[in-house]
Amino acid sequence: MNDMNKQFETMGAQLAAGAPTSYSHAQSDVIRDECQSLLRQIPEGQRLLEFLKTDSCDIKILNGKKVDWKSAPDAKIAYLFCPVPTKAIGLEEITLGYAIAARELEQPKHGIYQPNPNHPPEMAFQTMVEYFLDINIEMSKIVAEFAARDPNTKFLDLITKLGQNEFYSEYISGKNKEELREILKRTLINND
């Protein structure tokens, strides 16, 4: 037992000694440039980039295990997490994460807020539905614009990977927001 405690104590010191001085991704400038370059190719991407610029918002790119994002709209900042070996993921996945992080920063301007588990259950569920509805519509809009440019775009593979085939198909078929909301609700509560 004492040996285990000693290993545990020294492990913390070893981790602290080897801790990175920054959590910023070593290739953050390259990743940002590539994402922005790809987004400039479509109208919705251009609009999101203009929003970031006009509203003085920033997206910081940090080391992460997978592509993910988190935003703090009140601080006008979002964090895009990206694996250190960028070969493990496609530029499309990082770009979509970048775009959705930007949209999350923009959501409060449209009265859409991140879900809050401290709200009463019905209110929390409704907030969650509106939040994810907006994110899924934004994602579908971006993918549809890339697909219009190139029917073989890897963004379509990404929709499949994310399990959003049904939602995307219904979006491009012209379903209205209310119909898309019902599809999303079914997905969220696992009711078919």
The pLDDT tens digits for 99-143 are 999 999 999 999 998 888 788 888 888 888 999 999 999 999 999
Q: Determine contact, residues 115/97, Cβ cutoff 8 Å.
A: no
pLDDT tens digits along 68-106: 889 887 889 999 998 887 777 889 999 999 999 999 999
Kindly report the pTM of this predicted structure.
0.84
Whose tokens are 């971006």? That residue is 142
Please report the pLDDT score of residue 58 as a whole number. Answer: 95
Token pair in block for residue 61: 């790119």
Other Cβ atoms less than 10 A from the Cβ of 10: the count is 10
Q: Determine contact, residues 82/63, Cβ cutoff 8 Å.
A: yes
DSSP run (H or E) holding 151? none
The Cα–Cα gap between 71 and 58 comes to 10
The Cα–Cα gap between 51 and 108 comes to 13
**Local confidence band at 190 (pLDDT 50, 70, 90 cut-offs):** low
Please report the pLDDT score of residue 13 as a whole number. Answer: 44
The amino acid at 154: K
Q: Where are the alpha helices (DSSP H) in 67-150?
A: 91-106, 121-149
The Cα–Cα gap between 192 and 183 comes to 9
Q: Determine contact, residues 80/61, Cβ cutoff 8 Å.
A: yes
